[in-house]
Chains A and B, each alone.
Chain A
Amino acid sequence: MSRWTEEYFIEKGLLLTAISSIIIIGLIIIFIFKEGIPAIQSYGFFNFVFGMNWSPSEGQYGVFPMIIGSLGITLLSLLMAVPLGLLCAIFLAEVAPARMRKVLNPTLQTLAGIPSVVYGFFGLILLVPFMRAQFGGTGFSMFTASVILTVMILPIIVSVSEDALRSIPHEYKEASLALGATHWQTIKNVIFPAAIPGVITSVILGMGRAVGETLAIIMVAGNVVQIPGSIFDPVRALTSNIAIEMGYATGIHYNALFATGIVLIFMIIVLLIIANYLHYKKKVTIGGGYL
Chain B
Amino acid sequence: MDTKYIIGIVVALIIIVGAFLVLGGGGNSEQKISIAGSTSVQPLAEKLATEYMKKNPDVKISVQGGGSSVGIKSVQDGTANIGTSSKSLKSDESTGLTQYEVAKDGIAVVANKQNTVSGLSLDQIKGIFTGNITNWKEVGGSDAKINVIIREDGSGTRDAFQEIVLGKTSNDTKVAFVKEAIVQSSTEAVQQTVAQDPNAIGFISFATVKDAKALNVNNVAPSEATIMDDTYKIQRPFLFLVKGDAQGAIKAFIDWVNGPEGQAIIKDDKLVPVGKVVTGNSTK
Contacts and interface: CB of A to CB of B under 8 A. Distances in A.
Given A223-B185, A224-B179, A128 B154 contact: no
Contacts of A218: 185
A248 B153 contact: yes
Given A58-B173, A58-B176, A132-B197, A247 B181 contact: no
Contacts of A57: 153-154, 174
A248 B154 contact: yes
B200 interface: yes
A224 B180 contact: yes
Contacts of B67: 248, 250
Contacts of B196: 125, 128-129, 132
Interface in B213-270: none
A56 interface: yes
Contacts of A219: 189
A174 B201 CA distance: 64
A125 B179 CA distance: 24
A73 interface: no
B123 to A, nearest CB: 23
A124 B194 CA distance: 11
Given A124-B193, A138-B147, A244-B152, A222 B183 contact: yes
B278 to A, nearest CB: 25
A224 B153 contact: no
Nearest to A139: B197
B132 interface: no
A138 B152 contact: no
B98 interface: no
Given A58-B176, A128-B193, A139-B197, A224 B39 contact: no
A140 interface: yes
B182 to A, nearest CB: 5
Interface residues of B, number: 25
A219 B190 CA distance: 10
B176 A247 contact: no
Contacts of A226: 179-180
A55 interface: yes
A218 B182 CA distance: 11
Contacts of B174: 57-58
Interface string A216-246: 0011001111100000001010000001110
B187 interface: no
Given A138-B197, A248-B155, A124 B189 contact: yes
A274 interface: no
A247 B39 contact: yes
Interface string B172-213: 011010011111110001001100110010000000000000
Interface in A127-145: 128-129, 132, 137-140
B52 to A, nearest CB: 26
Interface in B132-149: 147
B183 A244 contact: yes
4 tightest A-B contacts by CB? A248-B154, A223-B183, A222-B182, A244-B152
Interface of B: 39, 65, 67, 70, 147, 152-155, 173-174, 176, 179-185, 189, 192-193, 196-197, 200
29 contacts: A58-B173, A58-B174, A124-B193, A125-B196, A128-B193, A128-B196, A129-B196, A132-B196, A138-B147, A138-B197, A139-B197, A140-B182, A140-B193, A223-B152, A223-B183, A223-B184, A224-B180, A224-B182, A224-B183, A234-B180, A234-B182, A236-B183, A244-B153, A244-B183, A245-B153, A245-B154, A247-B65, A248-B67, A248-B154
